[in-house]
């Protein structure tokens, strides 16, 4: 979808982490009110709300009307609430639907809230909920969890990309923890060393514990409007793709389909990007996404790592927020939080992790697993005007 008249007018969040005394309603309300305040509008000025969540039914006991329960307490009523569930891509999907709603002319200003409460005192129950974001009839029969699927994909990349292995995986993990140090949203704001990463427990070879995204509580919100906000950040394109049938050698994976369509709709190519936020559910996946999103060509991943191209100060910083690995991964909030980071960067408000002169940013949010690909791949391209 081409969306040149759609702006991100405000951003807000509740920090990501472990908040045992904070309810899902409180997380969501905190982010929503912060986004409204950043946009300089009152709740009564919002025409509709799109609320993203994946696991409240399984973990918190709230089904069906999640968004309505979140926003009632801040005075939202009368206007429609659309509840969005699309695995780890729930947040990006909610933003996509909100952009469509504004682009249609039906609404002038909408609120997007993504929230998840995953710390429920039972890690096994949380992991079981996550496992339901695949085809349960298939995955249940073969006994694979997402970490095993990620490990298979990473090993496939290792076979195709010369000199990409443990050293690269440790580097990208450390890089993103360094980026997260100055991000007030982030769950983990302490730097790591490569030695710490290498010594952490093996989860599914070659993925180690410190390479895995964290279970998190948190919320993120955006105000999307036909009227520009501070920094005049606009949505150049918003695309979602489901897992394709890949029947022939060379058929493109879902993230590449979404990215290609997003570049075409935005009227720019990957070489014109100044930064990107990608879905690193395990940190080595970031390296796979360099290829899938055409940030580099086949066989060029090792060179990207050797040049430190995707670190702050490099030619194309990736996951300046810390990514899922360090920022945290409260599933319904993740895709929204990626766009908060891009908006702050494009407004010049990112502080010590600011990318100088940033004008174009890409966010890639994936969810679930079916066939050979994520069940959903969402790509947004934003442009800052300042």
Active site residue 364: no
> Both tokens of residue 348?
């010049």
Residue predicted with more confidence, 372 or 268: 268
Burial (CB count within 10 angstroms: exposed 0-12, middle 13-18, buried 19+), residue 247: exposed
* Confidence band of 140 (pLDDT split at 50, 70, 90): low
Other CB atoms within 10 A of residue 108 CB: 14
* Confidence band of 85 (pLDDT split at 50, 70, 90): very high
147 Cβ contact partners less than 8 Å away, ≥ 6 residues apart: 203, 204, 207, 212, 282
> Both tokens of residue 57?
């039914």
Read off the pLDDT of each residue in 146-169 and give the average, rounded to a whole number.
91
N-term to C-term CA, the chain? 23
- Cβ 7 vs Cβ 225: under 8 Å: yes
- Cβ 60 vs Cβ 18: under 8 Å: no
Read off the pLDDT of each residue in 336-354 and give the average, rounded to a whole number.
98
Other CB atoms within 10 A of residue 128 CB: 13
Q: Which of 179, 274, 279, 329 is catalytic?
A: 329
Please give the pLDDT value at position 327: 97
* Confidence band of 131 (pLDDT split at 50, 70, 90): confident
* Confidence band of 279 (pLDDT split at 50, 70, 90): very high
> Both tokens of residue 63?
């089904």
Q: Which of 7, 51, 88, 296 is catalytic?
A: 88
Say whether pLDDT at 147 is over 90: no
- Cβ 191 vs Cβ 163: under 8 Å: no
Give the span between the Cα atoms of 58 and 322, in whole angstroms. 28
Percent of the chain's residues with pLDDT above 90: 89
pTM (2 decimals)? 0.96
Set out the domains of the chain in order of their start, with CATH numbers: 7-122+218-234 (3.40.47.10), 134-213+238-383 (3.40.47.10)
Active site residue 177: no
């Amino acid at each position: 979808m081409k969306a040149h008249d759609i702006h991100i007018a405000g951003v807000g969040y509740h920090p990501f982490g472990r908040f045992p005394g904070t309810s899902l309603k409180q997380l969501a309300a905190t982010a929503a009110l912060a986004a409204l305040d950043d946009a300089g509008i009152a709740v009564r000025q919002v025409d509709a709300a799109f609320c993203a969540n994946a696991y409240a039914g399984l973990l918190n006991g709230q089904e069906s009307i999640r968004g309505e329960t979140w926003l009632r307490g801040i005075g939202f009523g009368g206007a429609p609430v659309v509840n969005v569930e699309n695995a780890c891509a729930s947040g990006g999907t909610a933003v996509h639907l909100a952009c469509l709603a504004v682009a249609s002319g039906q609404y002038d200003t909408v609120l997007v809230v993504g929230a998840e409460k995953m710390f429920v005192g039972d890690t096994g129950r949380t992991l079981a909920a996550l496992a339901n974001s695949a085809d349960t009839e298939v995955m249940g029969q073969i006994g694979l969890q997402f970490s095993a699927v990620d490990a298979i994909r990473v090993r496939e990349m290792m076979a195709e990309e010369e000199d990409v292995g443990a050293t690269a995986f440790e580097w990208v993990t450390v890089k993103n923890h360094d980026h997260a140090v100055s991000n007030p949203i982030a769950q983990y704001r302490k730097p790591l060393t490569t030695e710490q990463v290498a010594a952490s427990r093996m989860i599914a070879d070659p993925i180690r514990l410190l390479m895995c995204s964290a279970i998190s509580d948190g919320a993120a919100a955006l105000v999307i409007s036909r009227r520009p906000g501070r920094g005049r950040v606009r949505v150049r394109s918003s695309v979602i793709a489901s897992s394709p049938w890949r029947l022939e050698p060379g058929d493109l994976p879902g993230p590449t389909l979404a990215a290609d369509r997003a570049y075409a709709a935005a009227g720019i190519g990957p070489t014109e990007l100044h930064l990107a936020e990608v879905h690193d559910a395990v940190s080595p996946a970031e390296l796979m996404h360099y290829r899938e999103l055409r940030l580099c060509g086949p066989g060029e991943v090792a060179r990207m790592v050797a040049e430190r191209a995707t670190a702050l100060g490099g030619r194309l910083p990736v996951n300046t927020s810390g990514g899922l690995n360090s920022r945290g991964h409260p599933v319904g909030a993740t895709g929204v939080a990626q766009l908060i980071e891009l908006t702050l960067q494009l407004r010049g408000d990112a502080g010590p992790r600011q990318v100088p002169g940033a004008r174009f940013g890409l966010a890639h949010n994936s969810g679930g697993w079916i066939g050979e690909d994520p069940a959903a791949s969402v790509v947004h391209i934003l442009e800052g005007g300042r």
